[in-house]
C-alpha cells in the first residue's frame, strides 16, 4: 500500500510521551517527513535515547526531555529547552497519557487525580506553553490523543474515560478559540492499539474487545500515525476542533 507523504522540513515538533508506543511512532514519522523533533518522556530514558538516535539517523535534529507533563514548572522548562535547542514549536502532539483498568470500587481519589493531572492538565499545560508563540507567528498545529473511551461507557476505566472525554471537549473549544490565529487543534480517538499501555489489561478482556471490533483485530501504531500526519499537514487546513475516531469500526461517531 502506498503511503501519503508530507514535507515537514523546517518544522519543529514536540511529541509528549514520545519515548514509546504511539508517540514514538509519530515522532519517527515526523522526522521521516523532515521535521526536527523533541520528544518528552517521564521515566524511560533508555527508550527515549533510542528514539533520539533513530531520528538523528534520519538526518534530523532531536532531543529528549524528561518532564512530567502534569508539572507546570517542568513543562515550562521543557518548552524553553526545545525552543533554545531546536527552535520555536510548530507542531505539538499531546500524546503522554496513563490508563488504569479498575472497577469503580477501586477508583480512588488518588487514581482519579493522577489520571486527570497527566491526561487532562498535562494537555492543557503543554498547549498553554506553546500557544502564544504559535499565535504570534500565525502558525501552529496541535494534535491531542483522545480515545474511544471518551465516547462510550468504560465502567472499568471511569477516570480514564472521563479524562478522554475532557480531551475531546478541550480540542473542540481550543480549536475554535485559535482558529483565526492560524493555529489548528484536532484530536485522534483510537480504539485498541498494541502498545505497552495495554500491558495491564486482562488478556481475556482484550480477546473480547477484538471480538467486538468489526475488523477483528487490535490496531497498530501505524493505524494512528497517518491520521496525525494528515492533521499536522496543510491537507487538513479546513479542519479544527475535530476528533477523528480510528477504532476498526467499534465506534463510529459522529
Q: Of 143, 122, 145, nearest to 134 (Cα)?
A: 143
Q: How far is the CB of 252 from ligand NAP (least distance, A)?
A: 16
160 part of the active site:
yes
Q: How far is the CB of 65 from ligand NAP (least distance, A)?
A: 9
What residues contact residue 245 under an 8 Å CB cut-off, 6+ apart? 148, 151, 189, 190, 191, 251, 252, 253
Q: What cell does 158 get?
A: 471511569
Contact 108, 155 (CB under 8 A): no
Report residue 21 CA to chain centroid gap: 10
Nearer to ligand NAP, 195 or 240 (CB): 195
Distance, first Cα to last Cα, the chain: 27
Q: How far is the CB of 71 from ligand NAP (least distance, A)?
A: 8
Classify residue 2 by its DSSP letter.
P
Which residue of the set 6, 124, 156, 160 is catalytic?
Answer: 160
Nearer to ligand NAP, 49 or 133 (CB): 49
Residue found by looking up cell 498553554 in the block: 128
Q: Is the dihedral of CA 114, 118, 121, 125 positive or negative?
A: positive
Contact 169, 127 (CB under 8 A): no
Question: Which positions lie near ligand NAP, rule CB under 6 A?
Answer: 16-17, 19-23, 40-44, 47, 68-70, 95-99, 118, 145, 147, 190, 192-193, 195-198
Nearer to ligand NAP, 28 or 198 (CB): 198
Q: How far is the CB of 43 from ligand NAP (least distance, A)?
A: 4
Nearer to ligand NAP, 10 or 200 (CB): 200
Catalogue the active-site residues: 160
Amino acid at each position: 500500500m502506498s503511503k501519503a507523504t508530507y514535507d515537514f522540513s523546517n518544522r519543529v515538533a514536540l511529541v509528549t510521551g514520545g519515548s514509546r508506543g504511539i508517540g514514538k511512532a509519530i515522532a519517527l514519522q515526523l522526522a521521516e517527513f523532515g521535521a526536527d523533533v523533541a520528544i518528552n518522556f517521564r521515566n524511560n530514558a533508555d527508550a527515549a535515547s533510542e528514539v533520539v538516535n533513530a531520528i538523528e539517523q534520519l538526518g534530523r535534529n532531536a532531543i529528549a526531555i524528561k518532564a512530567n507533563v502534569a508539572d507546570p514548572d517542568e513543562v515550562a522548562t521543557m518548552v524553553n529547552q526545545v525552543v533554545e535547542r531546536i527552535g520555536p514549536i510548530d507542531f505539538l502532539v499531546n500524546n503522554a497519557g496513563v490508563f488504569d483498568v479498575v472497577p469503580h470500587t477501586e477508583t480512588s481519589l488518588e487514581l482519579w487525580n493522577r489520571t486527570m493531572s497527566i491526561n487532562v492538565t498535562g494537555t492543557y499545560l503543554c498547549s498553554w506553553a506553546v500557544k502564544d508563540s504559535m499565535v504570534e507567528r500565525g502558525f501552529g498545529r496541535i494534535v491531542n490523543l483522545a480515545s474511544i473511551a471518551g465516547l462510550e461507557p468504560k465502567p472499568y476505566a471511569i477516570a480514564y474515560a472521563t479524562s478522554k472525554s475532557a480531551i475531546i471537549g478541550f480540542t473542540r473549544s481550543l480549536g475554535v478559540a485559535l482558529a483565526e490565529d492560524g493555529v489548528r487543534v484536532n484530536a485522534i480517538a483510537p480504539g485498541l492499539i498494541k502498545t505497552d499501555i495495554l500491558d495491564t489489561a486482562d488478556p481475556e478482556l482484550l480477546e473480547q474487545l477484538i471480538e467486538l471490533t468489526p475488523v477483528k483485530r487490535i490496531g497498530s501504531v501505524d493505524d494512528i500515525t497517518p491520521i496525525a500526519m494528515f492533521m499536522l499537514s496543510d491537507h487538513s487546513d479546513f479542519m479544527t476542533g475535530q476528533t477523528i475516531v480510528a477504532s476498526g469500526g467499534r465506534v463510529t461517531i459522529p
